[in-house]
Chain A
């Protein structure tokens, strides 16, 4: 196995609606900035991979248009996943294992502002038994949150405290969308959207784009003073049907974290991709992240959640703290699917 590291990261500030930029116009600033940070151009990149979903803009093959934000002539090696950009990072990491190239550019973009996101996400559900019922993403997550309450693993107050902490952390994050000193009792007075979920237990809808550059071995050391080495990375998925799972636990996150080597040494911080407050509690329990681990110093998905990008941003935020020397070892996590069905975990470390 080659050593591969994140050597740079760039993101656009998350906002409710980025009307003035199409896909290419969102991609160009972040990819060029990520490459510029390490003195590279597209000609120096061995492999380019992106993550997005066409259902956000509602245009089939819209991801192809995003390539217009890159220099793609002469032809480049390029790939795409219909998933969060963090899974594109995983593909790029696998590609770097081949050993014939030393650098990769990973990017993703998400415009949540164009369509009815909770209804779009119903298309993730079983097309025979669930999709025809119109189970939106908030209601699906609400079934999971109620199961948490019923099993006494958490209370609504716990959910509110997660939201308050994340949005307080986000105060120092210029790229976050919802931030400030929120008050638990005020959150608990919000009406339910789908009980027991209130507005502040849910992530906002955001538009954003992000990019990272990966590099292997000595190339990484040449490009960055303190590369964020990917010590382990793994992803696991669970059955699709909600009625086949214990929604209050995340065996997939636990297994992915074990395989990524989380248990080998303590981490200073974890960037968890939890689009709903109760999901952070499930993930922490699954991965055994106790009081000594700082959770989401960036504010996490509850402060900004541009779909298909928020996961890659977790990787970028965790890596940034290693690149800057503020952290020694960090966990980055991304989820995909309904109610934490699929989880990707990486352990990042400085040298």
Chain B
């Protein structure tokens, strides 16, 4: 048993503070979203305003209106705010030189991330919704971004052309359509305008197998803008049986460590009622369980 007694104890003082003409004018103006500095005898401007400058000279009592923006002179990032801090989420303390002044104000910057903070950065003042004539009528400052939004939005009608239309119509019916050059006999999926080996039109459409060989693959582990899937996932090139060019799709239904070149795979389709004119009708390719294809059989398609 600890013989030393201990008990919680709270110290509070309900003091009020008199403010005087300089401080009271500044604080009262904050209620009306007006930011002012005071002029010193030697022509400098101080914000927050002080009664005396550091030389001990009384300031002039002449106030100047200021634009509510400034420059960060020093800062400190607080990842875990203390009780009593102005935010309960990560924020920065900063010394901020308000534009047109010669001193700096201590306040908080709501920057979201430490990475956005730097000395010399520009900030703008954010007013508090509720005001009570204290320095906290300034809610905080926020970064002024040097970037301007520059979105582009243009509306087009696209059409995929004759061959892709045939391919997409096939997908809508659960078929994989290829195009064949009748002379050379090579089959390309999707169909294309011409056999790149001969230059002849691939004028015949043929339905091709849903089973093929995984010729190569990659496992995506990094996130990127616009990504639809959560990494890691596998993306592979599949040469369907009887065709001469690969299609590209997700490889799933198998541990990533077991995925290998030459693996036999088959298409895993969505339920028929969800089919559209889209390759997304195939969810992914999965192993068939057959023995791997020998390298010689697909090396010309790599």
- Given A139-B78, A150-B119, A195-B114, verify A130-B106 contact (CB < 8 Å): yes
Q: Is the CB of A146 within 8 A of B104?
A: no
- Measuring CB to CB, which residues of chain B are less than 8 angstroms from any residue of chain A? 2, 4, 6, 9, 11, 17, 19, 23, 27, 48, 50, 53-54, 73-79, 82-86, 93-95, 97, 103-108, 114, 119, 134-136
Selected contact of A133 from candidates B27, B77, B106, CB within 8 Å: B106
Q: Whole-angstrom distance from the CB of A252 to the nearest CB of chain B? A: 12
Q: Is the CB of A19 within 8 A of B103?
A: no
- A147 in contact (CB, < 8 A): yes
List, in ascending order, chain A residues with CB within 8 A of B50's CB: 241, 244
Selected contact of B82 from candidates A136, A145, A192, A245, CB within 8 Å: A136
Q: Is the CB of B4 within 8 A of A20?
A: yes
Q: Is the CB of A143 within 8 A of B19?
A: no
Q: Is the CB of A135 within 8 A of B106?
A: yes
Count A interface residues, CB 8 Å.
42
Q: Is the CB of A132 within 8 A of B77?
A: no
Task: State which residues 164-211 of A face B: CB under 8 Å.
Answer: 191-197
Q: Is the CB of A243 within 8 A of B77?
A: no
- Measuring CB to CB, which residues of chain A are less than 8 angstroms from any residue of chain B? 19-20, 55, 58, 115, 118-119, 122, 125, 127-130, 132-136, 139-140, 142-147, 150, 191-197, 238-239, 241-245, 247
- Given A142-B76, A143-B76, verify A133-B103 contact (CB < 8 Å): no
Q: Whole-angstrom distance from the CB of A60 to the nearest CB of chain B? A: 9
Q: Is the CB of A242 within 8 A of B106?
A: yes
Q: Can you name the residue of chain A whose Cβ is closest to the Cβ of B93?
A: A139
- Given A119-B84, A132-B136, verify A19-B93 contact (CB < 8 Å): no
Q: Is the CB of B84 within 8 A of A191?
A: no
Selected contact of B95 from candidates A119, A125, A192, A243, CB within 8 Å: A243
- How far is B97's CA from A197's CA once the two chains are assembled, in angstroms? 23
Q: Can you name the residue of chain B whose Cβ is closest to the Cβ of A191?
A: B79
A-B contacts, 6 of them at CB < 8 A, read: A128-B17, A132-B134, A135-B106, A147-B119, A196-B76, A243-B95
Q: Is the CB of B76 within 8 A of A194?
A: yes
Q: Is the CB of A197 within 8 A of B76?
A: yes
- Given A19-B6, A244-B54, verify A133-B86 contact (CB < 8 Å): yes
